[in-house]
């Protein structure tokens, strides 16, 4: 195969302008907090970032600022909500818009035990009209897009008609952006982790939605881990959403960004470290524990010489107890020294 053909297959077609949803980082509970999102933004300037799922109850009865505060550099950033009461969702969506979020996303895909008790997440796919009522209530109070994240089906119903009809009902009330996790959600008998691995991926069924709703935006989620995966899927979908890969190997975000927006420069690794050092310094002064921030960076050195030492230094309890941003520069220096030693050998 020629070099020219290899290059053509490794880069997203430049014949069309990439969708605003071309590269997304999935909402992940206990992962995509504002510290993680700040780091991901440095790696991929145009990626669309999502909050952890925040329930309407957390915003109605909890600390709103703690849940919704974010750095302006995170734009474009979406607030993902969990809930099933149209009135409560409308209030939460309005709060999100007032805080400056660029999108309100309703979770119709989470398969955890909590969704059965709280009547939100994947179980909502069995109540398409209720979801439409929730969407309409949110649309009535915000001007930003109201979008959905959903699965292909529930339990062991693998019929295409189920997801097609669900999407059709939402389309009728004006939803135009759908994030499709290309697996079923098995609500009884599988853990959330197992739900990310055991139900089979059915990209062909997700692609059928693209064909049946041609003027809607479809973002593919599920099993996307590499640059090659992403570039391939972007030939058929408007965007890709990475989940655990963005957490375990965050450098892949920048590599995908380069394929989608090849003419837009990114920060160098040294520049990323410098900005994270400043951010860490400011957050420590504000009372944030360093580990809350450095945990998002542990996988950044994946595959490099010295990666284990990098992870160890940035997660060591004694180092974190120092409350000193210098720990990041120390870890970076160790990583660079390991790379230099490898080159000399």
pLDDT in tens, 321-345: 999 999 999 999 999 999 898 777 7
Residue-level pLDDT at 10: 53
Phi, psi of 337 (to 5 degrees): -65, -40
Which band of pLDDT confidence, cut at 50, 70 and 90, is reported for residue 114? low
- Which residue has tokens 């997440």? 121
pLDDT of residue 342: 79
Examine the pLDDT at 118 and tell me if it is beyond 60: no
Fold category of 269-344 in CATH? 1.20.120
Q: Each residue of 155-180: pLDDT tens digit?
A: 999 999 999 999 999 999 999 999 99
The span from the CA of 190 to the CA of 199, in Å, is 9
Arithmetic mean of pLDDT, 80-103: 98
Name the DSSP letter for residue 177: E
Do 3-260 and 269-344 fold alike per CATH?
Answer: no
Catalytic residues: 110
pLDDT score for 1: 31
* Banded pLDDT at 117 (limits 50, 70, 90): low
Instruction: pLDDT band for 115, please (50, 70, 90 cuts).
Output: low
Spatial CB neighbours of 107, under 8 Å, sequence gap ≥ 6: 27, 53, 80, 81, 82, 120, 121, 149
Rg of the Cα atoms in the chain: 21
User: For 34-38, what is the mean pLDDT?
Assistant: 98
Thinking of the domain 3-260, which architecture would CATH place it in?
Answer: Alpha-Beta Barrel (3.20)
Q: Is the pLDDT of residue 119 over 80?
A: no
Cα(21)–Cα(50) distance, integer angstroms: 11
CA–CA dist 136, 203 (Å, integer) = 29
Per-residue confidence (pLDDT) for residue 11, from 0 to 100: 64
Spell out the domain ranges in the chain: 3-260, 269-344
- Averaged pLDDT, 252-268: 97
Say which residue, 120 or 156, is predicted with more confidence.
156
pLDDT single digits (tens) 168-223: 999 999 999 999 999 999 988 888 888 888 899 999 999 999 999 999 999 999 99
pLDDT at residue number 116:
55
Average pLDDT along the chain: 93
Helices 160-172, 128-139: inter-axial angle, 10-degree rounding: 30
Encoded tokens for 327: 């720990």
> What pLDDT sits at residue 158?
96
Task: Write down the pLDDT at residue 5.
Answer: 32
Angle at the Cα of 41 from the Cα atoms of 340 and 279, rounded to 5 degrees: 75
pLDDT in tens, 61-71: 999 999 999 99
Q: Does 11 or 290 have the greater pLDDT score?
A: 290
Backbone dihedral angles phi then psi of residue 79, each to the nearest 5 degrees: -95, 120
What the block records as the tokens of 286 is 């504000």
């Amino acid at each position: 195969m020629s070099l020219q053909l290899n290059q053509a297959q490794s880069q997203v077609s430049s014949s069309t302008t990439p969708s605003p949803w071309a590269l997304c980082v999935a909402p992940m509970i206990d992962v995509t907090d504002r510290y993680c999102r700040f780091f991901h933004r440095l790696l991929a300037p145009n990626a669309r970032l999502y909050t952890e799922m925040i329930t309407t109850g957390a915003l109605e009865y909890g600390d709103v600022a703690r849940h919704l505060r974010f750095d302006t550099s995170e734009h474009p950033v979406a607030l993902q909500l969990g809930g099933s009461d149209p009135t409560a969702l409308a209030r939460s969506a309005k709060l999100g818009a007032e805080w400056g979020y660029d999108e309100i996303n309703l979770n119709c895909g989470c398969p955890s035990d909590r969704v059965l008790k709280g009547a939100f997440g994947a179980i909502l796919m069995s109540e398409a009209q209720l979801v439409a009522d929730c969407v309409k209530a949110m649309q009535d109070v915000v001007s930003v897009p109201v979008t959905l994240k959903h699965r292909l089906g529930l339990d062991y119903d693998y019929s295409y008609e189920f997801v097609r009809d669900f999407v059709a009902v939402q389309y009728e009330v004006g939803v135009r952006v759908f994030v499709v996790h290309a697996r079923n959600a098995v609500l009884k008998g599988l853990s959330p982790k197992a739900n990310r691995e055991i139900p089979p991926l059915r990209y062909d069924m997700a692609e059928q939605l693209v064909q049946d709703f041609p003027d809607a935006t479809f973002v593919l989620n599920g099993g996307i881990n590499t640059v090659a995966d992403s570039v391939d899927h972007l030939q058929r979908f408007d965007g890709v959403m990475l989940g655990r890969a963005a957490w375990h190997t965050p450098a892949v975000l920048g590599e995908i960004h380069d394929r989608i927006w090849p003419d837009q420069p990114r920060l160098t690794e040294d520049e990323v470290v410098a900005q994270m050092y400043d951010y860490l310094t400011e957050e420590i002064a504000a009372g944030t524990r360093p580990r809350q921030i450095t945990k998002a960076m542990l996988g950044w050195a994946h595959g490099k010489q010295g990666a284990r030492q990098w992870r160890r230094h940035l997660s060591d309890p004694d180092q974190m107890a120092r409350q000193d941003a210098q720990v990041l520069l120390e870890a970076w220096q160790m990583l660079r020294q390991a790379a230099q030693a490898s080159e000399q050998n």
